[in-house]
Structure 1
Amino acid sequence: MRSDLRIERFHVLMTADAVGGVWSYAVDLAEGLAGAEVGVTLAVLGPEPSATQAARAEAAGCRLVGTGLPLDWTAAEPGAVIEAGDMLARTARAVGADLVHLHSPAFAAQTPFGVPVVAVCHSCVATWWAAVETGPLPDDLAWRADLVGRGCRRSDALLAPSAAFAAATARAYGLTRPPRIVHNGRRALSLTGAACTEPTPSAFTAGRLWDRGKNVAGLDRVAARAALPVRAAGPLAGPNGERISPVHLEWLGQLDEAGIAAQLAGRPIFVSLARYEPFGLAILEAAQVGCALVLSDLPTFRELWEDAAVFVDAGDADAVAGTLECLAADPGTRAKLGQAARKRAGRYTIAASTAGVLRTLEALLAGPAARASLKGEAA
């Protein structure tokens, strides 16, 4: 049971992983909820967070719990995901949680949590496969998708970070109604200590470079053709064994927030040629500091950044390289695009994201009628 003396309206057990954008989402949301007098215990699955990540989570007001549990997309077999759900339910009882906030519906596939459950559809193997590959899901992904689908139906509410991804999720799992849309928010990176320079004629991207959905191989082909440097930050190998070895990109390693801030301070052209992206927190970080955006023509990106980015055919390396070179040579257009991106980024704040999640949590606690209404969105 909780022993601190902080006044809390209610307490949430929130799960997260420290591998990608889910970590930033969870910590920023936890900080927003703490400001609304909602307590958060953050249960970390997968690899342990770094010391810097842990310190940031604690500063946000989280109670951090390492679980040693596998991520649903790296687990060896279905039983491991079911067991992880069971352990999370025990953890929720131990910390006195009033609700559970899952970063994947899969953990709710079979486990009775005893309290309302909201699951966030950040990404999943079924929608990833539909965007990146062709044909039926292979067996190793099919059972994972089955768990996600079952979890979608058992959760009391589902959330998604964009309307495009909510629709893709509904199609993938045959949901009668798509998840509720709550756009992600992001705390702006601090540029304190970073050299704030004039816009530099370079391009930059960041994220899980090993993920084929990010299409870093396509960006590597662009880098071979572009006259300006194209730099990338992020891991080249993933916990699932995926790996990429770009030849033409300038790989900067796996940078922390300060390192990313240092890159963005020069306002490079931020480029993403992703073939799959439910939201894109790295794009939001770049937009917040006024970087011009060059993005693949995905429904998600159109929804979030229409009239605030240049959209390109991710499969046409020559055309993308030409677009980057034209922007590098035109500081006026680059500045206008950066201003448009910064203005649009003002829609995607922690306050707005927290308010959307908080409305859902409060409805789940309001009683059976309100919960039944939300349940209809996860049926």
Structure 2
Amino acid sequence: MTTDAVGGVWTYAIDLSRGVSRAGVEVTLVSFGPSPSPDQVKAAHAVPGLTLVDTGLPLDWMANEPAEILEAGAVLRGLARAHRADVIHLNSPALAAIGGFAAPVIGACHSCLATWWAAVKDGPMPRDFRWRTQALWQGLLACNALLAPTAAFAEATARTYEVPVPFVVHNGRAPAGLAPALCEPMVFTSGRLWDEGKNVAVLDEAASLIAAPLYAAGPLSGPNGEWRRLGYAKSLGRLSARIVAEWLARAPVYASSALYEPFGLGVLEAAQAGCALVLSDIPTFRELWDGAAVFVPPRDPKGFARAMDRLLADPAEAAVLAAQARARAGRYTVQAMAAGVLSIYRQFNPVRFHGVIAGVAA
């Protein structure tokens, strides 16, 4: 399985590896891009049967030319053969473009530049986006099967690349399990704040309009040189998963104004922690959280401010909404995610994965 240490793909890969390990599946986790941090490495080593390989090779969306993607794919192909992999799970499907893999290739579509551009920007994509999109298209065509974390994103992927609609397996996350904490009057958000698709500028403007502070966890600068400045929201920088969980345990309200979010693990973590959700009205969030969140047009800072102020001023309403979010989060478990992914593995390698789904522990 491939991964990167930049965003939510790392969390997904670790949780999925933990889930399938309960069925006796051993994972070789191959990391591309910037090296994992010490706390990320520690999390990987805590997964039974997991071997971590840090290649240092560029991610497809950070490569300088198509040849670098093909080179990374060739390295991965060699590792898969050396480890006698029964299935290759690519969280960067562009790596499949090299071809020649000795086992079925499953491409997990977490995000892509073309769908990101369509959601965030206007006009034609720049040249560097176009050739990366072409590389991904070639990789998608080379995969034996595709999967996506929401039906909305599966449909967007199929429409954009003219490929079969991917299998849909919702992401899952294990609750942090922290004891309830005394809520403080604040709003919390998290994610890759430098990413324009997260649209944190809207929450930053909304922060100037509400009485309580809005805290933002996550990096303000990205590995591709992108960066953001916050004027009113209080930046906490990159935090470990444990520290984020502690903040969520104290926050009555969690907000995301994302323009582009194929799933949103941060929202799921907030719902599990018992936060009331104020979310941008985009198709993926509607699919996952309709009836369990307040929705606001993504480019409306005053709308976000009104929604957040209302919940902060009415703890009873916030508690009802938080309970609805926590109940909905019960659908999105690591167990359900692992079972869904293992069912796909079994379709494409029935001999090696026969019966493993029954072994997924609760």
User: What TM-score comes out, normalization by structure 1 length?
Assistant: 0.91
Match of 1:110 in 2: 98
Match of 1:31 in 2: 18
The Cα of 1:292 is off from its aligned counterpart by: 0.2
2:29 is the counterpart of 1:42: yes
2:126 is the counterpart of 1:138: yes
Match runs of 1:1-379 below 5 Å: 14-61=1-48, 62-175=50-163, 177-191=164-178, 196-366=180-350
Q: Report the Cα distance in structure 2 between the residues aligned to 1:99 and 1:303, rounded to whole angstroms.
A: 30
Percent sequence identity over aligned pairs: 53
Give 2:160's aligned amino acid. Answer: A
Match of 1:6 in 2: none
Q: Report the Cα distance in structure 2 between the residues aligned to 1:49 and 1:154, rounded to whole angstroms.
A: 28
Q: Report the Cα distance in structure 2 between the residues aligned to 1:32 and 1:229, rounded to whole angstroms.
A: 37
The Cα of 1:200 is off from its aligned counterpart by: 2.2
Q: Report the Cα distance in structure 2 between the residues aligned to 1:268 and 1:18, rounded to whole angstroms.
A: 29
Q: Per-residue displacement from partner, 1:297-342 (whole Å, max 9, x unpaired)?
A: 0000000001000000122211211111111000000000100000
Q: Report the Cα distance in structure 2 between the residues aligned to 1:262 and 1:355, rounded to whole angstroms.
A: 29
Asked if structure 2 preserves the Cα contact closer than 8 Å seen for 1:235 and 1:254, the reply is yes
Asked if structure 1 preserves the Cα contact closer than 8 Å seen for 2:220 and 2:227, the reply is yes
DSSP 3-state at the match of 1:295: strand
Q: Report the Cα distance in structure 2 between the residues aligned to 1:26 and 1:261, rounded to whole angstroms.
A: 19
Q: Report the Cα distance in structure 2 between the residues aligned to 1:235 and 1:30, rounded to whole angstroms.
A: 25
The Cα of 1:199 is off from its aligned counterpart by: 2.6
The Cα of 1:162 is off from its aligned counterpart by: 0.1
Asked if structure 2 preserves the Cα contact closer than 8 Å seen for 1:82 and 1:111, the reply is no
Q: Report the Cα distance in structure 2 between the residues aligned to 1:131 and 1:366, rounded to whole angstroms.
A: 38
The Cα of 1:198 is off from its aligned counterpart by: 2.8
The Cα of 1:171 is off from its aligned counterpart by: 1.3
Give 2:165's aligned amino acid. Answer: P
User: What TM-score comes out, normalization by structure 2 length?
Assistant: 0.95
Q: Report the Cα distance in structure 2 between the residues aligned to 1:69 and 1:316, rounded to whole angstroms.
A: 39
DSSP 3-state at the match of 1:119: strand
The Cα of 1:218 is off from its aligned counterpart by: 1.2
Match of 2:357 in 1: none
Instruction: Name the stretch that deviates more: 141-150 or 271-280.
Output: 141-150
Gaps of 5+ in 1: 1-13, 368-379
Give 1:67's aligned amino acid. Answer: T
Q: Report the Cα distance in structure 2 between the residues aligned to 1:133 and 1:65, rounded to whole angstroms.
A: 35
Q: Report the Cα distance in structure 1 between the residues aligned to 2:296 and 2:190, rounded to whole angstroms.
A: 18
Asked if structure 1 preserves the Cα contact closer than 8 Å seen for 2:278 and 2:294, the reply is yes
Q: Report the Cα distance in structure 2 between the residues aligned to 1:162 and 1:349, rounded to whole angstroms.
A: 14
Asked if structure 2 preserves the Cα contact closer than 8 Å seen for 1:101 and 1:117, the reply is yes
Asked if structure 1 preserves the Cα contact closer than 8 Å seen for 2:154 and 2:166, the reply is yes
Task: Please provide the CA RMSD for this pair.
Answer: 1.2
Asked if structure 1 preserves the Cα contact closer than 8 Å seen for 2:186 and 2:252, the reply is yes
Q: Report the Cα distance in structure 2 between the residues aligned to 1:206 and 1:111, rounded to whole angstroms.
A: 37
Tell me the matched-pair count.
351
Asked if structure 1 preserves the Cα contact closer than 8 Å seen for 2:245 and 2:273, the reply is no
Asked if structure 2 preserves the Cα contact closer than 8 Å seen for 1:287 and 1:345, the reply is yes
